[in-house]
Chain A
Amino acid sequence: MNRLITYTLSLLPIFFIFYQSIFNDEIINPYSYLIISSGYIAISMIIIILSVPILFSIKNYIDRRSLGIITFLITLLHFFLYLFDNDLSLSFILSDIVSRNYIQAGYIALILFIPLFITSSDKSKKKLGIKWLSLHRLIYLILALSLLHYYLIIKADYFLFNTYMFIILFMLLIKKRIYKT
């Protein structure tokens, strides 16, 4: 049941942006809207995943693993939208990796996310034991790289980025307090 709730809720934003980009004629550049919004959604979902333990009242309804799987798939979607935006041109994609720092940060974040996705089953969890936990702590690094990826593409206005940073800091402080006691 929790899994169903989590899948449904976490897929809503993606359905929403696809619906908007197709049917809302107020969105003038739908492709760019999809790429940018899926990026925001992915970062926000990672923050939500990390906040689940401190969301006292609703954490019982959230299946954290499903949330993680959906977030990985959204990140992958973000990546494929980028590839299609550039006509899947290999030469372009390679030159983009070489010449743009924010693209590099994005790739590393995506690559680090893969082992987490692969080892998300109960079976892997049992098999890896204590190592599973340290492996899945990579999500903090993935978040940091995603934020770097975002930071490096900002032209001048850091307001939204700072808001994200503030929320993350707040979340981490609360987590620290809870785990101490």
Chain B
Amino acid sequence: MKIFNKYNLDKENKITDEKHFHNRRKIMASTLAFPLLMNSNILAASQKKLSFNKDLDYSTNEQTNTIKQITSYNNFYELGTGKRDPMLNASKLKSDEWKLTIDGLVENPFTLDGDDLIKKFQLEERIYRLRCVEAWSMVVPWIGFELRSLINLAKPLHNAKYVYFESILDKENLPGQKRNILNWPYKEGLRMDEAINPLTMIAVGLYGKVLPNQNGSPVRLIVPWKYGFKSIKSIVRISFVDHQPTCTWNEQAPDEYGFYSNVNPYVNHPRWSQKRERRIGEFGKRDTLLFNGYSKFVNNLYTGMDLEKNF
């Protein structure tokens, strides 16, 4: 019955504690020595704890995925294109002495450092569904603040219609950036009304602690009604602009990844059907919901728009 145990989401074991560590040793000893098993993730015990409130307005009460699932199955091409690569290469992301620049069409451009990110804003925990375009999903307890509180500080000018986000560029250290897999740095964008929607969040933590590198340390975007790739990781720049900004995956394959990329089971995708999804930890698939189940918060953003054309 071991197989069934495995698919139970395990809420108790939120961190890789000593018990897990020894289990892992046992597994390693009992299987062939294979690179997959070697460099296992031990979440730094020294990972800084954050103080935060728990949000009740937007959080789902669904069972959250385990820290292990959330930190060892990632798409973060800067750290490698395999699902386990970001975890294995996590230390290659240098996230200390971080600077996040807010500029463009604003009255008040400013820069935040790592300390500001966790101290300047009232942090809260939000439990959101995350739906990857590859037809899998997780439920993740993020810690962060609404993007609109940062936007309010910047005071955008009236002609600022879009927000542009840019990830770290570090070809020396980031293994994925040593090859031209994507047109680095990773770029994303939102329309202003999407950016100030209360669901849109800047995350600095996960499961009560600061973000692990593989999840986009030290600061990332969370847009839960869009496919995961819109939620850009390790942000160094947020710019307010008057035109629709370039987005990396849209640039890579415009017929596959649109600017909006809202979760939508009715819009066909050339690689994966978006009708259903596998929640990580579950065996069968479940139906995908329009806007990832966040319709009541975001429906009004798209009234009158043809979502088939603006996919």
Contact = CB atoms under 8 A, between A and B. Distances in A.
A156 B251 CA distance: 12
A24 B136 contact: no
B286 to A, nearest CB: 11
A66 B172 CA distance: 48
Contact of B2 (A23, A95, A157, A159): A23
Contacts of B68: 25, 28
Interface in B59-73: 68-69, 72-73
B69 A87 contact: no
A139 to B, nearest CB: 27
Interface stretch (B30-38, B99-107, B118-126): B30-38
B270 A32 contact: no
Interface string B248-290: 0000110000000000000010110101101010011100000
A81 to B, nearest CB: 13
A156 B278 contact: no
Given A23-B31, A26-B40, A26-B72, A32 B278 contact: yes
Contacts of A159: 81, 179
Interface string A10-26: 00000010011011111
Contacts of A87: 284-285
Given A19-B31, A23-B2, A23-B31, A157 B181 contact: yes
A29 B273 contact: no
A100 B270 contact: yes
Contacts of A150: none
Nearest to A28: B73
B270 A156 contact: no
A22 B3 contact: yes
Given A24-B37, A25-B27, A28-B280, 15 more contacts: A22-B3, A22-B6, A24-B27, A24-B31, A26-B36, A26-B40, A28-B83, A29-B83, A29-B280, A85-B285, A87-B284, A95-B273, A101-B270, A157-B77, A157-B179
